[in-house]
């Protein structure tokens, strides 16, 4: 039975979050920067939106060069890692509701295996669309999605789907797709290796099948040769590998945007119940997360001794009140995140 793998890429993630929080910059080139601190303009570009890329500003570019290109046109913003991590965690929680088999590849990329929950490939594609729609409806973040029979091809399709698209290649289409897939599109094949393979007569991934094995191993090594050969033969099946989760959370949508704690608290309690069901032990850290009416995210945290579920509600209400007292906006969604988990001990642990 083939795998059904979904790859999800958060489009120009850092810059997109900044656009959502400040809609006035959405129609401008937006550049998120890592400042080195040596001078006011020293540093590099972390990421940029598509308008900035159109005028030539790309990730990794030295900041003085980017500022020269974007002078009087682009908006330059300092990177806010903690903010983006909060948004990423929220989106990953949405994705994880669709399968326990989720591999977080980076802050803005994830694979999810839906083989066990989907009856066929069309069902997997429909699930991918649901995930995409739910992420946008709950966060405003646009994502690109690839769906296929393995992780490598799902990522290829996710890259092809940018921006804000979805592409799929199922079991009945995969052989024809591979015949026309350029070797340079395969994940892990950069410009240098791609050029070496082109020089050896390898333009498409399926060219690897009939190529001289020893020659290719001499160029790219045994491991990479086996990887490309398996993809070319449609036998590549490296599994989605879930990382051990360090945080467990749950978000709830309120019936209306509100600041009324009497309306919000029952949803906080539901979020706590769900988060504690997921967690393998008791947390020493609890965060109350509020998604405001403009989709910006605020959170307040408590760290202390192990927190049982009875204390969690009291702590969460205190954190909620802090947010309401410090911010005048209505709350759209509310969530609870548990961290610093200490696993529960059972009798089995002693034998």
Contact, 66 vs 29, CB < 8 A? no
Give the catalytic positions in this structure.
109
Which of 132, 179, 117, 129 lies closest to 153 in space, CA to CA? 179
The DSSP secondary-structure symbol of 97 reads: T
The whole-angstrom separation of Cα 31 and Cα 45 is 7
The whole-angstrom separation of Cα 168 and Cα 5 is 10
Per the annotation, does 108 bind a ligand?
A: yes
Per the annotation, does 116 bind a ligand?
A: no
Which string of DSSP letters, residue by residue, matches 141-197?
A: --EEEEEESSHHHHHHHHHHTTTT-EEE--TTTHHHHHHT-BGGGSTT--HHHHHHH
Contact, 308 vs 280, CB < 8 A? no
Can you tell me which residue has the tokens 């069902």?
123
Dihedral (Cα; 22, 26, 31, 32), 10-degree rounding: 30
Report H helices in 180-330.
Answer: 191-199, 213-220, 222-232, 261-278, 309-326
The whole-angstrom separation of Cα 292 and Cα 140 is 12
Helix (H) or strand (E) holding 301: strand 297-303
The whole-angstrom separation of Cα 284 and Cα 303 is 6
> CA 183 → CA 133, 167, 186, 194, 349, distances in Å?
31, 19, 6, 7, 49
Q: Which residues are annotated as a binding site?
A: 9, 108
Q: Which residues are annotated as a binding site for Mg(2+)?
A: 9, 108
């Amino acid at each position: 039975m083939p795998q059904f793998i979904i790859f999800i890429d958060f489009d120009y993630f850092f810059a997109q979050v900044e656009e959502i929080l400040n809609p006035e910059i959405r129609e401008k080139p937006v550049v998120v920067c890592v400042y080195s601190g040596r001078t006011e303009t020293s540093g590099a570009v972390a990421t940029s939106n598509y308008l900035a890329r159109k005028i030539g500003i790309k990730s990794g570019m030295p900041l003085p060069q980017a500022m020269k290109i974007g002078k009087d046109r682009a908006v330059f913003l300092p990177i806010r890692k903690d903010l983006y991590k909060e948004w990423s965690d929220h989106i990953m929680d949405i994705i994880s509701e669709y399968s326990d088999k989720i591999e977080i590849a980076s802050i803005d990329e994830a694979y999810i295996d839906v083989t066990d929950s989907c009856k066929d490939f069309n069902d997997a594609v429909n699930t991918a669309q649901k995930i995409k729609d739910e992420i946008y409806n709950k966060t405003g973040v646009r994502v690109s999605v690839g769906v296929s029979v393995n992780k490598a091809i799902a990522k290829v399709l996710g890259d092809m789907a940018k921006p804000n698209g979805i592409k799929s290649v199922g079991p009945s289409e995969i052989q024809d797709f591979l015949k026309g897939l350029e070797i340079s599109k395969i994940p892990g094949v950069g410009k240098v290796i791609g050029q070496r393979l082109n020089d050896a007569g390898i333009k498409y991934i399926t060219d690897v099948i009939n190529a001289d094995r020893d020659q290719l191993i001499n160029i790219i090594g045994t491991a990479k040769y086996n990887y490309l050969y398996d993809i070319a033969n449609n036998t590549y099946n490296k599994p989605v590998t879930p990382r051990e989760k360090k945080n467990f959370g749950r978000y709830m949508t309120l019936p209306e945007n509100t600041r009324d704690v009497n309306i919000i608290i029952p949803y906080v309690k539901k979020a706590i119940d769900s988060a504690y069901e997921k967690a393998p032990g008791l947390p020493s850290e609890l965060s109350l997360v509020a998604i405001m009416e403009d989709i910006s995210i605020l959170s307040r945290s408590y760290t202390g001794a192990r927190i049982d579920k009875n204390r969690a509600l009291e702590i969460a209400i205190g954190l909620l009140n802090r947010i309401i007292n410090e911010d005048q906006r209505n709350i759209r969604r509310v969530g609870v995140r548990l961290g610093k988990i200490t696993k529960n001990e059972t009798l089995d642990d002693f034998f």
